[in-house]
Amino acid sequence: MSSTTIRPVTKEDEAKWREYWAAYNEFYKRTISEEVTATTFSRFLDDNVQMFCAVAEDESSRQIIGFATWFPHMSTSKINGVVYLNDLFVDPNIRSKGVGGKLIDHVYDHAKNVLGAESVYWLTQHFNHRAQLLYVKKATKSDFVHYSKNL
Ligand code: ACO
Ligand code: ACO
C-alpha cells in the first residue's frame, strides 16, 4: 500500500464519507436518519461548530480509505478541555495496515496543538477485540463503566 495522508474532510468527500458512514452504522447495527446524517456532515464543514472529521486518503489512488470524528468539551477536573473521539472507521479491505493508528495520531495532534486539550478519550464495545488490538497500543484502558439513558 502507498502512503496515507490524513486531512480535514471537504464537501467533495461527502459521497465517500456517506458510504463509510452507512457501513459504520451497519457495523453498529443502528439506523441514523437522513436528517441526522446531513446535519452531522454539515457540522464538520461549519467553522462555527467544534465538531471535526478527518479522512484518510491513499496518496497514489487519491481514494478515501477511512475517517475519524471528534469534538472537545469542558471538564470539572481540568482547566483545559478534553476531546471525545466519537467515530473511527477504516475500509475493510485496508485494515491492519496502520490507517486507524494514523487517524488516531491525527486526532491527538489536533486535540493538543489546535484545541489545546489535555486528553483524548473514547469508548468501544467490550467485544470489539479488533479495535482494542489497536487501542491498547495507543492509549490506556480505563476502569470506568459506561451508562446512558435516552431522554
Ligand atoms: N494480533 C495482534 N495485533 C493485531 C492483530 C492480531 N491478530 N491484528 C491487528 N493487530 C494490530 C496491528 O498490528 C495494528 O497495530 P500496529 O499498528 O502497532 O501494527 C493494530 O492491530 C491495527 O491498527 P491499524 O492497522 O492502525 O488499524 P486499522 O486501520 O485496521 O483500523 C479500526 C482499526 C478502525 C478499528 C478498523 O478495524 C475498523 O474500521 N473497524 C470497524 C469499525 C470499528 O470497530 N471502529 C472503531 C469503533 S470505536 C470508536 O469509534 C471510538
Ligand atoms: N443492596 C441493594 N441496593 C442497595 C444497597 C444494597 N446493599 N445499598 C443501597 N442500595 C440502593 C438503594 O436502595 C438505592 O436505591 P433506591 O433509591 O431504589 O432505594 C440506591 O442503592 C442508592 O440510591 P440513592 O440513595 O439515591 O443514592 P445515594 O444518595 O446513596 O448516592 C452516590 C449515591 C452518589 C453514588 C453516593 O454513594 C456517593 O457519593 N458515593 C461516593 C462518590 C461516588 O461514587 N460518586 C459517583 C461516581 S460516578 C460519577 O460521578 C458520574
Find how far residue 72's CA is from the centre of its chain: 13
What number does the ligand 1 atom closest to the CA of 88 have?
A: 50
How far apart are the CA of 115 and the centre of ligand 2, in A?
36
* Other Cβ atoms within 10 Å of 39 Cβ, number: 13
Which of 134, 138, 142, 146 has the most ligand 1 atoms within 8 A of CB, as the residue to mutate?
134
Residue 82 pLDDT greater than 80, yes or no: yes
135 pocket-lining for ligand 1 (C-beta < 6 Å): no
Residue 42 pLDDT greater than 80, yes or no: yes
Q: What is the pLDDT of residue 1?
A: 62
Cell of 5: 495522508
User: What is the bridge-based pairing of β-strands 119-121 and 52-58?
Assistant: unpaired
How far apart are the CA of 34 and the centre of ligand 1, in A?
28
125 pocket-lining for ligand 1 (C-beta < 6 Å): no
Q: What is the pLDDT of residue 80?
A: 97
Nearest CA to ligand 1 atom 15: 134
pTM (2 d.p.): 0.95
ipTM of the complex: 0.91
Any idea which architecture 4-138 has in CATH? 3-Layer(aba) Sandwich (3.40)
Condensed to tens digits (0 to 9), the pLDDT of residues 48-81 reads 999 999 999 999 999 999 999 999 999 999 999 9
Q: Which uninterrupted H or E stretch holds 73? A: strand 64-73
CA nearest neighbour of 5 among 144, 128, 102, 108 = 102
105 pocket-lining for ligand 1 (C-beta < 6 Å): no
- The alpha helices in the chain, defined as continuous H runs, are 14-27, 34-45, 99-113, 129-138
Q: What is the pLDDT of residue 2?
A: 79
**Per-residue pLDDT averaged across 5-11, rounded?**
98
